[in-house]
Structure 1
Amino acid sequence: MTSRTLLARLDLRDLLPHRTDYDLRPRTVVSDLVAGVTVGVVALPLALAFGVSSGVGPAAGLVTAVIAGIVAAVFGGSRFQVSGPTGAMAVVLAPIVAQHGVMSIALVTVLGGLLVLLLGLARLGRVVTYLPWPVVEGFTLGIAAIIFLQQVPAAVGVKGAVGGNTLVAAVRSVLAAVRAGESRMLWTLLVVLVVAVLMVVLPRLHGALPASLVAVAVVTAGAEITQLPIARIGALPDTLPTPVLPGFTAATIGDVFGAAVAVAALAAIESLLSARVAASMAPGGSVYAPDRELVGQGLASVASGLFGGMPATGAIARTAVNVRSGARTRLAAVIHALVVLAVIYLATGPVARIPMAALAGVLMVTACRMVVVSTVRAILRSTRADALTFAITAVITVAFDLIEAVQIGLVVAGFFALRRVARGSSVQREPLPGPAEPGDEHIALFRLEGAMFFGASDRVLTAVTDASTRGGIVVTILRLSQLRMVDATGAKALADLVAALERRGITVLVKGVQHRHRRLMHTVGVLGRLRHSDHLFDSLADAVGHARSHVHRHGRGTDIPQLDGRRPHP
C-alpha cells in the first residue's frame, strides 16, 4: 500500500456529515416534511411489532426507530435511507434472547454496532458493489414479496404469528380469518382496498398530494365515524429510557461475541443493499456512500444499545415509502424519527386509532411498486444463468432467509460466471508461421487464450499433453501472450505440463509470458521447469526458429527417432 493510499484511508472527512447533505429551500423542506411524517406513521406500528417479535419488547422497537433513525440519517451515506428495527433483525435476535436473555441485547447491539463501524472505517463498504445485478434484483423482489406477505394478517383481520416463515404465516392467517367468519375480514379488506385505490388515484389527480398519508387519514376517519370492528394500533409507550452503558466483562463479551458478529453481518449487508436499492428507486437515480453508510449504521446501533434499543439496519420497506412519498434529502429520515418521538409523548391517543389494515394497505402498494416489471423482464430474457440466479435469490429470500439468499445467490452467480470464463478459455494447435520446412511435423505450436485458472487448467493440460505425445512431436511451443488471467492453480498446471513433457523427452519452449504473470510463473516453477533459460521467448519467430534448429540438430530432417528422456543440449 502506497503512502498516498494510506493517507487517503486515514482521511475521514468523507465519512462525516457535511452541510451539502441538506437542501433548506422551502419546496425541498416541504417535500421532506411530508415524506418524513408519512414514513413516521408507517414506521410506528412496525417498530412496535418488530420489538415484540424479537422478544426484546415494544419499547425497544420504538427506541430503535427514534435514536437509531436520527443517528443513521445524520451520519449515514444515503439521503433516502430510513433505519430502524427490521423483520430480518428480529429473526436473528429471537434465538439470541432465548439463549442469552433480554439483558444481553444491549451489549450485543453495542458490539454489533462497533463491528459495523470498523467495517466502514476500513473502507469495506464497496464490497456490496460486487453483488451481481440478478442477485440484487432477486433480493429486491424477495423483499417486496416479504413486505406484501407480512401485511396479509392485518389485511384479513387476524393477529399474525410471531416469527416463522412469512409465506406460511400469510396462508395460516387467511385460513384463520375464513374460519373466524367473513365479517371482520371483509371490513379489513375494504380498508386495504380504499387505501390502495387512493394511493394509485391521488397522484394522478395532483402529484403533490401525500397519497399514503391522505389515504391513512381518510380511512381512519371513516373507521372512527362508522365504528368499524377492526384492529387498531392500540396503546403505546409514552416515555423513552435514560441512556446507560450496558454492563460487561471479558466473559460476557466472549459469550455474546458470536451473536454480535451475526448481527453486524446482517446489519451491514441489509443496510448496504437497502441503500443501493433506494438509490435505484429514486427519480432520476441517485448515489450513496457505502463506507459512510456503514459508519452511520454502526453509530446508530451503538446509540440504540445505550438507550436499551435493538440493532439498527436500513429498512427497505420504510425507505421505499420514503422515496415514494417524495423525500429529497436525509432530513426526511430525521423527521420520521422525530414523528415517532412526538407520537410517544404527544399523540398516542389519535395514532392508536389508526387501523392496522390501513398501514397494511400502504405497505402492500409500496411492495408492488418496488417490483419494476421491465427490470424483471429484462433479467429473465438476458441469459439462462442470470435468470436462474435471479429466481433462486428471490425464492430463497422469501422461503428461507435474507442473508442466506444473498450468499446462495452469490454462489450461483459465481458458479455460472466461472463456467463462462472456463468456456472462454481455450487451447488451439496452430500451424507454424511462414513456408513449411522439413521437420515441421515434429513441432507442435499451441496458443492458450482466455484464463488459465482452476476451472480450466485441467482441460488445457489434458489437451496439450495428448496432442504433444502423439505423432513424433519433439518440440512443443506454448504461446501464452493471449492469456488474460492466470491464477496459482493455472500456473501450477502449466508447471506440471512442462515437467511432464520434458520427462518424455519433448523440449518445451514458452513464448509471450506477460510481464504481470512472470512473477507468478517464476514462483510456482513454470519457468524453472524449462530445460534451459533460453527456452523463454518474446518473439514467435525466434521460438519457431529455435524449434526448427533443435529438430534439425537432433533429428536431421524428418527422420527423427523418439528421444528416451535424456536431456540433450538445447
Structure 2
Amino acid sequence: MVAFLVNKSANLKDDVLSGLTVALALVPEAVAFAFVAGVEPLVGLYAAFMVGLITATVGGRPGMISGATGALAVVMVTLVAQHGIEYLFAAVVLMGLLQVGAGLLRLGKFVRLIPHPVMLGFVNGLAIVIFLAQLGQFKQAGPDGALHWLSGGQLGIMLGLVALTMAIIVLLPKLTRAVPAALAAIVAVTALVHGLGIDTRSVADMASVGGGLPRFHFPEVPLTLETLRIILPYSAILAAIGLIESLMTMTLIDEITETRGRGNRECIGQGVANLVTGMFGGMGGCAMIGQSIINVNSGGRGRASGIAAALFLLMFILFGSGLIEMIPLAALVGVMFMVVIGTFAWSSLQILHRIPRSDAFVLVLVSAVTVATDLAVAVGVGVVVSALGFAWDNARRISARSSLSSEGTRVYELSGPLFFASVQSFHGQFSPQDDPEEVIVDFRHSRVCDHSGLDAINSLTERYLALGKRLRLRHLSAECRSLLKTAGGLVEVDVIEDPKYHVATDSLA
C-alpha cells in the first residue's frame, strides 16, 4: 500500500512538472496560431486553456495535449476575414457538435484506414501550410493601406531576430533541458529587443492581450438557415481536421507509451471541448503533436499533466498578459519556423525512391492537396487514391491453374481475391468452348469479396450452361458461403458441399 502511494505521488509530481513545461511552451504557439487565424491573441490563449483542460479531463488519451493548432487556424482565417469573429465562434460550436456525433457513432475506429503515406503527406502538407502562413508577418501596411513586403533595415532586423530565435531553440538543448528551448528563445529575444531598443513590431502592435477570465458569450449571429449555410462547410472541415489530427496524434502517443487510447471517447472529448470553447470566446482546437510529445518525453503520462498545463496557462493569462504583449513578432515567427522543421517528415524525402510508386504518388499528392485546399480534403483524397491503388494491384494477382482429373473433369484452381477490380481477369482464365462437360472451380486459394465477384461467378455459370456444360464450385470459405446465402436467388451456382474444410475465416478453431 505504501509503495503504491509513493508511486502515485511520484507520477503526480511528474505530471505537474511536465504540465508546467508544456504550459510555458504553449503560450507563444497559442498567440502565433491566433495571428494565423486572424483573431486576437487572447482568443487563441482561451482556446488553449479550455480545450486543453476539457480534453485532458474527459478525453480518451491521457497524456495527450490539445489546444489551438495551425491546422485549424489556416481554415479559420478565411471565415474570419469574410464574416467576422462571431461566425467563427458559431462554427466552433457546430464543430463540437459534429465531433460529439462522430464519437457517439463510433467513427474513431476508422483512423486505422489511413495509410502511412497519407499520414506522411498529412504532416508534410501541414508543415508547408504553417510556413506559408508565417510569411504574412514579413509584410506591413503601407501609406495606401495595402500590405507590402518589408525591405531594407526592417527586413534585416526581422530576419536577424528570426534566425537568432531559431538558433537558440537548436543550441540550448545541447547545454540544458531545464527549460523549454522555445520559451528561452522568446525570453532572450524579447529581452534583447527591449534592452537595446530595437525597432521591430511586437504583439502589442497587433492587439492587446487582456488578463481576465473567459466569460460565457453566445455567438452573436442570426439563428437562420443562411447562417447555417455559411458556417456548416467550415464546421465540417474543422471537425474532420480536428478529429483526424487528434486521432493520428493519439496513435503516435499509443506507440510511444505502449498503451492504448480510446478513439471514440477522444472524439467526444474533443467535441465537448470545442462546444464549450465556442461559447466562451475561444477559437477551438485539437490535439497538438509537438506539445504531446514534449509532455510524454517529460514524464507526463496521466490526465493530471494535461490538467496542470491548462491551469498553469490560465495563470499566465491572468497575471502575465503584459509580458506577452512585449514579445516581438520575429520571435513568434522563429518558433513557428522551428515547428515547421519539426513537423515536416524529412525522412519521407529519402524513401520516395524506395517505396512503391503508388505510395510515393499518394505522399506527394496529399501534401499538394493540403496546401491547395485543406487537410480534410487531402486525407480523403489520399485514402481514396490509396484504396484504388490497392484494388488495382490486387486485381492483377488473380490467376487459375487448369488440370484434368482422372474422371475427365476440368479443374481450375483459382488464386487471388475475386472482387470488382479482378472480374475481367477472372473471366479471362476460363475457356468454356474447349472445356469438357464437367468443370470445377476450386476456391481453396481464393476468396469472393463482394457482389461483383458473385455476379462474375453467376455470369461464368451461365456461359457454361449455354453450352450445355455444368460448372461447380468447391472449397468456398465461410465468408463466401455467407455472401452466396445473402444473395439468395440473385446468384444461381452449384456448390460442392465440403463441411470439414475451412479457408480464410476469422475463426480461432
Q: What whole-Å deviation, never above 9, does each CA across 1:41-81 have from its counterpart, x for those lacking one?
A: 332332354252xxxx6554343222223212322233454
Instruction: Tell me if the contact between 2:474 and 2:498 (Cα under 8 Å) persists in the aligned partners.
Output: yes
What SS does the corresponding residue of 2:468 show, helix, strand or coil? Answer: coil
Q: Find 1:536's aligned residue among 482, 493, 496.
A: 496
Report if aligned partners of 1:68, 1:304 keep a CA contact under 8 Å in 2.
yes
Q: Which residue of 2 aligns with 1:484?
A: 447
Aligned residue number for residue 119 of structure 2: 136
Cα distance, 1:297 vs. partner?
A: 0.6
Name the counterpart of 1:393.
Answer: 366
State the partner residue of 1:29: 16
Q: Distance in 2 between matches of 1:176 and 1:107?
A: 34
Deviations 1:390-426 (A, max 9, x none): 1211222233321121011111211111112212222
Seen in structure 2, the aligned counterparts of structure 1 residues 99 and 218 have a Cα distance that, compared at 3 Å, is closer
Residue of structure 2 equivalent to 1:568: none
Query: Mapping of 1:8-27 within 5 angstroms?
Result: 24-27=11-14
Task: Give, in angstroms, the shift of residue 232 of structure 1.
Answer: 1.0
Answer whether contact 1:268 1:313 (CA < 8 A) is retained. yes
Unaligned runs of 5+ in 2: 1-6, 500-509
Q: 2:283 maps to which residue?
A: 310
Tell me the SS of whatever aligns to 1:450.
strand
Tell me, yes or no, if structure 1 residue 460 matches structure 2 residue 455.
Answer: no
- The 5 Å alignment of 1:69-108 reads 69-93=52-76, 102-108=85-91
Q: Indicate conservation of the 8 Å contact 2:63/2:292, yes or no.
A: yes
Partner of 1:547: none
Q: What is aligned with 1:295?
A: 268
What SS is found at the alignment partner of 1:481? strand
| 1:133-282 aligned within 5 A | 133-154=116-137, 157-159=138-140, 176-177=149-150, 180-181=151-152, 183-234=153-204, 235-244=208-217, 255=229, 258-259=232-233, 260-277=235-252
Shift of 1:335: 4.4
Aligned residue for 1:480, secondary structure, equals strand
Tell whether the 8 Å contact from 1:239 to 1:345 is kept in structure 2 after alignment: yes
Residues 143 and 246 of structure 1: is their aligned pair in 2 closer, same or farther, counting only changes over 3 Å?
Answer: closer
Match of 1:502 in 2: 465
In structure 1, the partner of 2:487 is 524
Hey, what's the Cα distance between the residues in 1 that align with 2:10 and 2:98?
A: 32
Moved more, 357-366 or 255-264: 255-264
Structure 1 residue 125: Cα displacement? 1.1
Distance 2:490 2:323 in 1: 80
- Secondary structure of 2:377's match? helix
| Residue of structure 2 in register with 1:493 after alignment | 456
Q: Distance in 2 between matches of 1:326 and 1:39?
A: 17
Deviation at 1:104, TM superposition (A): 4.4
Mark the CA change 1:483 to 1:477 in structure 2 (over 3 Å): closer, same or farther: same
In structure 2, the CA distance between the partners of 1:414 and 1:143, relative to structure 1 (3 Å rule), is same
Higher RCO structure (Cα 8 Å, ≥6 apart): 2
Tell me the distance in 2 between the aligned counterparts of 1:279 and 1:141: 21
Q: Check whether the contact 2:455–2:491 (CA below 8 A) recurs between aligned residues.
A: no
The answer as to 2:413 corresponding to 1:432 is: no
SS of 2:420's equivalent in the other structure is coil
Distance 1:191-1:272 versus aligned 2 partners, 3 A rule: same
* SS of residue in 1 equivalent to 2:282: coil
Q: 1:407 aligns with which of 376, 380, 394?
A: 380
C-alpha change, 1:144 and 1:115, in structure 2 (3 Å) is same
Residues 479 and 511 in structure 1, CA contact (< 8 A), matched pair in contact too: yes
Give the superposition deviation at 1:291.
Answer: 1.7
- Of the structure 1 ranges 358-367 and 267-276, higher mean CA displacement relative to structure 2 is found in 267-276
SS in 2 for 1:484: strand
Relative distance call for 1:34 and 1:62 in structure 2 (3 A) is closer
In the other structure, the counterpart of 1:384 is 357
Shift of 1:449: 1.6
For the pair 1:120 / 2:103, whether they are aligned, the reply is: yes
TM-score w.r.t. the length of structure 2 is 0.83
TM-score of the superposed pair, with normalisation by structure 1: 0.75
> Is the 1:50–1:58 contact (alpha carbons within 8 Å) kept by the matching residues of 2?
no
Q: Which moved more, 1:20-29 or 1:141-150?
A: 20-29
Matched residues in 2 for 1:90 and 1:537: separation? 60
Q: 1:368 to 1:100 in 2, by over 3 A?
A: closer
Q: Check 1:158–1:51 CA distance in 2 against 1; reply closer, same or farther (3 A cut).
A: closer
Show CA shifts across 1:214-256 (max 9, x none).
1221111111111112221112233345315568868578656
1:17-47 deviation digits (Å, cap 9, x = unpaired):
xxx9996443553233122212223323323
Question: 1:145 deviation in Å?
Answer: 2.6
Unaligned residue ranges in structure 1 (runs of 5+):
1-19, 161-171, 540-570
Deviations 1:366-392 (A, max 9, x none): 322234544653464122222221121
CA contact (8 A) 1:76 1:293 kept: yes
Shift in alpha-carbon separation, 1:25–1:538, aligned structure 2, 3 A: closer
Distance 1:84 1:51 in 2: 17
Partners of 1:515 and 1:232 lie apart in 2 by 68
1:317-366 deviation per Cα after TM superposition (whole angstroms, max 9, x unaligned): 65566567775555454444445433443222222111111122222223
Q: Distance in 1 between matches of 2:127 and 2:240?
A: 21
Count of matched residue positions in the alignment of Structure 1 and Structure 2? 485
Q: Name 2:392's counterpart in structure 1.
A: 419
Amino-acid identity (%): 29
| Kept after mapping to 1: 8 A contact 2:104/2:268 | yes
CA contact (8 A) 1:37 1:335 kept: no
SS in 2 for 1:137: helix
Answer whether contact 1:109 1:305 (CA < 8 A) is retained. Answer: yes
Deviations 1:494-550 (A, max 9, x none): 0111012101212212222223211322443689634xx6x62539xxxxxxxxxxx
Distance in structure 2 (CA, Å) of the matches to 1:99 and 1:217 = 35
Larger Rg: 1
Structure 2 CA distance for aligned equivalents of residues 151 and 22 of structure 1: 42
